[in-house]
């Protein structure tokens, strides 16, 4: 941030002593603001490398976590596909059994329903 010299001195014609004091206080305040702005600029300049290092470390941590999670995600995806294939095979086998043996299927369903009702009481 740049420091700028300020000149807030109005013409002295018709100025009382209190106006002069106000002008000096204003100039002093402006100088203090410029000084703080310069110090803040210096602090920000010094802090930038530290901020950059922290950001780099955070990016590396995210990359490491993503690298560790990738194999697990791949394994879960493969297991999900396997489960879908097994489910499809079981449904197909059940449909073929019911089509081939309709009376047995009704008997098995009645027996299973009866047993479930007894277990849930």
Per-residue pLDDT of 80-91, as tens digits, reads: 999 999 999 999
Q: What whole-number distance in Å separates Cα of residue 57 and Cα of residue 35?
A: 34
Contact 27, 8 (CB under 8 A): yes
Q: What whole-number distance in Å separates Cα of residue 71 and Cα of residue 65?
A: 11
Averaged pLDDT of the chain: 79
pLDDT higher for 107 or 56? Answer: 107
Residue 39, pLDDT above cutoff 50:
yes
Contact 35, 4 (CB under 8 A): no
Q: What integer is the mean pLDDT of 48-59?
A: 79
Q: What whole-number distance in Å separates Cα of residue 68 and Cα of residue 62?
A: 10
Position 100 scores a pLDDT of: 94
pLDDT over 70 percentage in the chain: 81
């Amino acid at each position: 941030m740049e420091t700028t010299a300020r000149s807030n001195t109005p013409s002295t014609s018709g100025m009382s002593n209190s106006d002069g004091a106000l002008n000096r206080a204003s100039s002093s305040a402006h100088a203090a603001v410029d000084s703080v702005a310069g110090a803040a600029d210096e602090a920000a300049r010094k802090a930038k490398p530290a901020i950059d290092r922290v950001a780099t470390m955070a990016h590396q941590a995210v990359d490491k976590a993503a690298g560790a999670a990738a194999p697990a995600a791949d394994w879960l995806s493969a297991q999900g596909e396997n489960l879908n294939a097994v489910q499809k095979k079981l449904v197909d086998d059940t449909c073929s059994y019911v089509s081939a043996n309709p009376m047995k299927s009704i008997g098995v369903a009645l027996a299973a329903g009866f047993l479930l009702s007894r277990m849930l009481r």
